Amino acid sequence: MFGHHHPHRWRGHGGGACRSPEGFGRGRHGGWGQWDHGGPRRRVFDQGDLRLVVLQLIAEQPRHGYDLIKAIEEKLGGAYAPSPGVIYPTLTLLEDMGLIAAQPGDGAKKAFAITEEGRKRLDENRSALDALAARMSEVRARSQGASPQIVRAMENLRTALRLKLGQGELSEAEVRRIVEQLDAATVAIERA
In CATH, 9-146 is 3.40.50.150: no
Rounded distance, CA 113 to CA 31, Å?
Answer: 24
- The pLDDT assigned to 108 comes to 72
Rounded distance, CA 162 to CA 183, Å?
Answer: 17
- The pLDDT assigned to 145 comes to 64
CB 34 within 8 A of CB 13: yes
CB 94 within 8 A of CB 51: yes
- pLDDT values of the chain reduced to their tens digit, one per residue, 192 residues: 333 333 333 333 333 333 333 344 333 333 334 333 333 345 567 778 899 999 999 999 999 999 999 999 888 887 778 888 899 999 999 999 999 999 987 667 789 999 999 999 999 999 888 888 888 888 777 766 656 677 677 777 888 888 888 888 989 999 999 999 998 988 888 888
CB 150 within 8 A of CB 158: no
Order of strands across the sheet with 32-36?
A: 9-11, 32-36, 42-45
Q: Which amino acid is at 96?
A: D
